[in-house]
Structure 1
């Protein structure tokens, strides 16, 4: 690596931080092992002048380095003092002592002391240097791809995109909703099916969701799911994990010759079938006869399809499939050691109401103009709970946006050109191998060549690796080679040489491309790492130019290995959005226009209760796009990922320490999947420890206030939900819990409870609740959604819980990305360690006795684990504790300021809340007619995302400010809420009519307030600038209030015609045209 300025990585040698309480307690200092940080070098210590470090680089004195925790925590010491005085509390310590029950408060965390931002970047560089990116032609669902620089810089690295929340407030989310509608349109066009969702977690989980759709759709009591043997092994395993809990029998069979390979009894019991197009072996088969035979038997057919291949191949819908699933990783997303990548799921007409997860639709706003929103939400877990179609909450919105923009950038011709180039490389590789006497197993393929080399496969793979290329070892006799967007002449020649094919064998065969990325992957690249990705993009452009020249020569006789009957002839991606942004200027402005439509954390506080929208620091995000992390294949030899593994080991150890558990699995790639993993661990534990002949333990007790995912996850884990009541103070009713635990003692599996509660209170009886369940033979699952109120103060694993999932996209600073990616690790006590997730292709990723894989990648969304690692490493134990304490302070300050205007529904001991509070708007609604929805939409006019609406109690707002918001922003929010109360009182007093006031008409667009005519009962200035500070910086929503019911009744889930967005409102006929 080139020389850089070095920084002293001594843990903040400038002394302890100052807080509102005075000097902070010094964090526990732990020795930093080589796996945790770069090697030390005898650096000068506190008070030393600038010195010379390694390689002669200048070393800055530690005193010059700012403390990260002071940047992360919004209120400075004087602001904290002001808030504490308002609460009449002596100190932060006194506040947390009063709020958090003494029975659960824990000791100091044993974590490494905090490092500075430069030191953490240096440590991440050290991890990266231990990774070894190699040109990967392994395939298995993961392929190197090139993200256009304009997309990387203006989406992936842009906080306007990555700090946004799930678009439940559609009026302030039109930009990312449009991007997601582009994604849905892209998928429906390529798959030839009617409706596609707005992303799923990955391809294997999408296949598992498809199985569940088929199971719900099938008639009768059939319970067998068929999978063709040529299917990704991780997909087979994830589907099997889901199926086992639901009592579904999975049968894997070679269906190349049709359904005759399945026994008659199994065929009669089959409700669903999964085929791959193409599969990991690369072969392309005409599956129409198999599909027709299956559908005659009432079997729902799913095809797992590569969307890039579908630019050349007939669409699954055209072949007769009911459902299509897959991954959009090839659409510009880096390998990232397995994720995050956006999965997709599309269905034929009639199955749309069974879709899991988010679905974007077109509706109209108050002026009749088209507007986007999440549609058919009654399918989802936050409404239907255990009856939901899925437990999915966080999906993969940001990766889906990136994939959709890749399609916008390239258009249909560009995508087909990339696919043709990849296919051409594979064809010429196969021809070269055949010419040298190597048997190519399949004649028809898209990008993957399966070569038979009896007894030599291991040696061929080793020889290729020595030449800088990873191949797939299928078995002792076969090697798989998957070409990709970055494949060029250098890679192909390395593969040819590994097979022992001499130059004479390929005489007359044209080799196209320029070896994109080879210099970097083989270590010949000598520039800075920061420039490496730009280099990759530039080399891809060169490859395009070379390919165009080759195509001119080969146009008359281009070799193909696509069966004629499977070649695509119908058009796709015909909407103008996939054609209008060819220049980088146009693309840049399109991305900017969309981001300007949205309100994200880069504009203001998002005080969503139970969502923890805290700072996503730039330093934490930095390593996500570094090639040392981005270019590692999840199934590459593990010595190529040594830096990843060391970082993962650190993070697992730190999270176990923070939560008080014995071990952690990072595989679940969302909180919902962490929940499922934890419940499956409980289920497996009870199964293994059951007395012969005893009742199956399958009852899950869940409080009525719980998150909807809890009940949905319990149902997916094969459990029956029994609801436990809450008392008048919002606590779990311990008497009702005891009654139901006793009544179901023989069958009790678990209690699933959130702590602090979803009512925003540290419940005093959590230890007693755990004891009640344990006494009845059950285990306790503590949902980690509210862990931001516990870190450094209490640990679930030490106050009675047996398992928790964590949300690293909440508590540990991974950005929400508009609805994903997330990471939902599962943490367990000692006796549950044998039941953590594992993986069929990576024994190192979990115990052999584990419940099976929860996601397709061994370590889940590994490519964003650098973010929580950096956060914990920069905060240290003391910083984490202070962050939690300030989160509690901010919430209590808001409750204090707003209580005179909106009653705080629940409070704990001494009238204190935890890290969030619930404002009761029901009295206001009764008095004035102003609803919680009116207040939420009016907050947009004040420049705020609304708090969580009507959860866990209808007619309320749940407010969570987090520790990252400073006093100025908190006061601005409180002032807005107080002003809104005054506006509501004017409605109640009859000054403004109930149907014509700034709350009823909110939000107000610029078009509305600048219209020639204004006939409302209040002035334009009240509509636009209700407080003076807005005149300096005003967010204008692009649409007025959206009609949700209209969008559900008139389902449109693809891009509407451009004419729909004319200056004048559209009518029903235009939207009908969109349908």
Structure 2
């Protein structure tokens, strides 16, 4: 197989004189011969290109050691004791044989060659764009940006938080409204969130939407309204009558879906005179030339930052934006980055107003990884930095001129392998692809959460006004409406999960689940006697994740779960999920990709922290001035000549033998003060003048003045 691929690669470079230079133009007979030859070779000498071997962390020796530790003879015995028999799948998944990475790429190329790539002039919020290579290379292809978790532990994420703050500042500057969030799923869902804000503000159950808004936005807003009991009326913006004082809000598009630009001043004034809020769906590139919505009085601006350097991707992912007036701050949906201070009064950034988060507000939450697009927001923010103010204006004018020219021309002439939810009675299943199916977190999005249903529910699946998905049209269709701007959500990231499944194969997928369960049970057993594991079965086993209870430490030592999360940073770990699904706990999800050494280091860190808690309980450490309460510790703190803490610098920053100077991961700020940040909310970058506070800048200015005077 290697030889065939090698010849194909040389041919593509023009090094060999062969008729067929691309795989997809081979005849069926040729492909059949290659397939039979490859199959024979694989039987005689199997290839080494095994993705599951690289993906799954523990090797055979480590697996046996962990099984011995938890008292199990085999993986099969562990699965039998961990998974209830009535849901355990007793056969392999019906999947093709797994592919190697090169085979997968070749298959993708063959599939992609069936696409016809045309230039799109449809508009409606999606536009051809160019991603600068420096952004592609340094952000989109950089694991430091793509694999990072949501920045709940702000001390470890100051760089990514700064970029998202830059995104918020860009949106604020361009929309003319004082506060913005750090992205939403897309423009249509942002508009639906705006409608929800209007309703929460004045409790009126009627909402106007201009018929010239993008069709997918109208569809999503109407669907969300039906769930909230809000009556949406679709009409021309010039016919909107709010004199009855029963309209919660209105939605207009600027420019509208046909590209027309209207003066909405009188409409906005009329709305406000009758207690109605105004939401303006707008376009960032158009705003390089148009008057910002905030300047003519709108209350909320929403839209998509897709045309700031993000490919269309057959509908996504793209970052939606949302900005509003200060008076609606507490109603703002999604995540917001705010400026605060750390324990040393140093300026720092963090997620502001976290009461909106899923682990606190539960079913009322307005923010999680599936409602944010952090990676795409960062790319769009960097696009603005890359081009600068004048560059963006130039692009806006160029697009405007091109549109005019085109308009003149037109005058003439869209639990894997172990159990299956459907087998044990589930009618609906929601999958989070960003963990189990290898989609990276992106620092808080994009996530993908497809929903599978049984056949009898298929007629009720979401539809779309532009490209209705298969099965959502016809007399049998009973769709409840539209849920996202694009018909298939963030479809551009789905090939990652597809590729993972194709390369793992049925055995690899099942084994990945088995090792995830093994890792979790091993860690839970290692932490016995130090922490209590909640929710084990009658065999004492857990599934692929487990919850350790930290609530008792608040009573015995004044230590809360967030204190433990901060101290873990000193050991080199980002904390597991805190206070979800149980307040005061840590939910540990080791996954199958971690090897035994890494699992042991994490367990050692938690055990060491438990000993530090015990030292507080026994009076060896002060209840307030101790390594846990003062964590995390920065370089600036331990290098300072003033060290007044009742424990050593070594205890602070090298608390375990595996934490060494060569491997130490340093937080850039000390503990974040969330209360101060929420009480003194700042959610944009400081003005440019703040960056000029330097004696060298002052000296340069004086020299320039002297030069002018001399002339």
- The match for 2:84 is 101
Pairing partner for 1:111 from 64, 71, 95: 95
- The match for 1:1054 is 684
- The match for 1:1040 is 670
- C-alpha spacing 1:230/1:40, structure 2 compared with 1 (3 Å): farther
- The match for 1:869 is 498
Query: By how many angstroms is 1:906 displaced?
Result: 2.5
**Structure 2 residue matching 1:865: 3-state secondary structure:** helix
Pairing partner for 1:1001 from 615, 618, 630: 630
Write the mapping of 1:914-993 to structure 2, written as runs, cut at 5 A: 914-993=543-622
Aligned-partner Cα distance in 2 for 1:1022–1:1047 = 29
Aligned-partner Cα distance in 1 for 2:586–2:468 = 46
CA contact (8 A) 2:88 2:418 kept: yes
- The match for 2:129 is 145
- C-alpha spacing 1:304/1:885, structure 2 compared with 1 (3 Å): same
Aligned-partner Cα distance in 2 for 1:150–1:283 = 34
Aligned-partner Cα distance in 2 for 1:901–1:348 = 49
**Structure 2 residue matching 1:314: 3-state secondary structure:** coil
Matched, 1:792 2:421: no
Aligned-partner Cα distance in 2 for 1:70–1:939 = 30
Aligned-partner Cα distance in 2 for 1:204–1:40 = 47
Query: By how many angstroms is 1:105 displaced?
Result: 1.0
CA contact (8 A) 2:369 2:445 kept: no
- The match for 1:78 is 61
- The match for 1:887 is 516
- The match for 1:203 is 187
Aligned-partner Cα distance in 2 for 1:180–1:965 = 29
Aligned-partner Cα distance in 2 for 1:937–1:379 = 21
Query: By how many angstroms is 1:1029 displaced?
Result: 2.5
Pairing partner for 1:180 from 158, 161, 164: 164
Matched, 1:363 2:347: no
- C-alpha spacing 1:1006/1:1057, structure 2 compared with 1 (3 Å): farther
- The match for 1:43 is 35
Matched, 1:908 2:537: yes
Pairing partner for 2:117 from 133, 139, 164: 133
TM-score by length of 2: 0.90
Aligned-partner Cα distance in 2 for 1:224–1:948 = 39
Matched, 1:323 2:306: no
Aligned-partner Cα distance in 2 for 1:1028–1:268 = 68
- C-alpha spacing 1:238/1:367, structure 2 compared with 1 (3 Å): same
- C-alpha spacing 1:980/1:392, structure 2 compared with 1 (3 Å): closer
Pairing partner for 1:1014 from 629, 636, 643: 643
Query: By how many angstroms is 1:960 displaced?
Result: 1.0
Write the mapping of 1:326-405 to structure 2, written as runs, cut at 5 A: 326-388=303-365, 394-405=371-382
CA contact (8 A) 1:46 1:63 kept: no
1:998-1024 CA distances to partner (integer Å, 9 max, x unpaired)? 111110101111112212111111112
Query: By how many angstroms is 1:995 displaced?
Result: 1.9
Query: By how many angstroms is 1:844 displaced?
Result: 3.8
- C-alpha spacing 1:1037/1:92, structure 2 compared with 1 (3 Å): same
Pairing partner for 1:88 from 71, 88, 100: 71
Matched, 1:5 2:3: no
Aligned-partner Cα distance in 2 for 1:391–1:158 = 23
Matched, 1:812 2:437: yes
**Structure 1 residue matching 2:177: 3-state secondary structure:** coil
Aligned-partner Cα distance in 2 for 1:47–1:388 = 52
1:207-241 CA distances to partner (integer Å, 9 max, x unpaired)? 1110111111125xx32211112110111111111
Pairing partner for 1:419 from 389, 396, 402: 396
**Structure 2 residue matching 1:975: 3-state secondary structure:** helix
Query: By how many angstroms is 1:182 displaced?
Result: 0.5
Query: By how many angstroms is 1:1060 displaced?
Result: 7.4
- The match for 1:67 is 50
**Structure 2 residue matching 1:350: 3-state secondary structure:** helix
- C-alpha spacing 1:49/1:961, structure 2 compared with 1 (3 Å): closer
Aligned-partner Cα distance in 2 for 1:834–1:953 = 36
Aligned-partner Cα distance in 1 for 2:250–2:526 = 58
Query: By how many angstroms is 1:47 displaced?
Result: 8.5
Query: By how many angstroms is 1:294 displaced?
Result: 1.5
Matched, 1:225 2:202: no
- C-alpha spacing 1:422/1:1062, structure 2 compared with 1 (3 Å): closer
Q: CA RMSD in A?
A: 2.4
- The match for 1:406 is 383
Pairing partner for 1:244 from 221, 226, 237: 226
CA contact (8 A) 1:369 1:1061 kept: no
**Structure 1: which 5+ runs fail to align?**
9-33, 51-59, 439-498, 501-634, 636-789, 1065-1075
- The match for 1:649 is none
- The match for 2:709 is none
Write the mapping of 1:395-544 to structure 2, written as runs, cut at 5 A: 395-431=372-408, 438=411, 499-500=412-413
- C-alpha spacing 1:178/1:285, structure 2 compared with 1 (3 Å): same
Aligned-partner Cα distance in 1 for 2:197–2:56 = 45
TM-score by length of 1: 0.60
CA contact (8 A) 1:837 1:846 kept: no
Query: By how many angstroms is 1:807 displaced?
Result: 0.9
**Structure 1 residue matching 2:436: 3-state secondary structure:** coil
CA contact (8 A) 1:114 1:873 kept: yes
CA contact (8 A) 1:7 1:119 kept: no
Aligned-partner Cα distance in 2 for 1:939–1:1058 = 36
CA contact (8 A) 1:354 1:379 kept: no
Aligned-partner Cα distance in 2 for 1:1052–1:950 = 26
- C-alpha spacing 1:417/1:74, structure 2 compared with 1 (3 Å): same
**Structure 2 residue matching 1:136: 3-state secondary structure:** coil
1:834-856 CA distances to partner (integer Å, 9 max, x unpaired)? 10111111134441221222111
CA contact (8 A) 2:242 2:276 kept: no
**Structure 1 residue matching 2:279: 3-state secondary structure:** strand
**Structure 2 residue matching 1:367: 3-state secondary structure:** coil
- The match for 2:249 is 272
Query: By how many angstroms is 1:64 displaced?
Result: 3.4
**Structure 2 residue matching 1:1048: 3-state secondary structure:** helix
Aligned length: 666
Query: By how many angstroms is 1:928 displaced?
Result: 2.8
**Structure 2: which 5+ runs fail to align?**
10-25, 695-711
Aligned-partner Cα distance in 1 for 2:111–2:152 = 38
Query: By how many angstroms is 1:951 displaced?
Result: 2.1
**Structure 1 residue matching 2:117: 3-state secondary structure:** coil
CA contact (8 A) 2:370 2:448 kept: no
**Structure 2 residue matching 1:325: 3-state secondary structure:** strand
Pairing partner for 2:466 from 832, 838, 841: 841
Aligned-partner Cα distance in 2 for 1:62–1:336 = 40
- C-alpha spacing 1:945/1:388, structure 2 compared with 1 (3 Å): closer
CA contact (8 A) 1:226 1:274 kept: yes
Aligned-partner Cα distance in 2 for 1:93–1:902 = 27
CA contact (8 A) 2:150 2:369 kept: no
- C-alpha spacing 1:837/1:368, structure 2 compared with 1 (3 Å): same
Aligned-partner Cα distance in 2 for 1:389–1:162 = 23
**Structure 2 residue matching 1:63: 3-state secondary structure:** coil
Aligned-partner Cα distance in 2 for 1:125–1:431 = 38
**Structure 1 residue matching 2:434: 3-state secondary structure:** coil
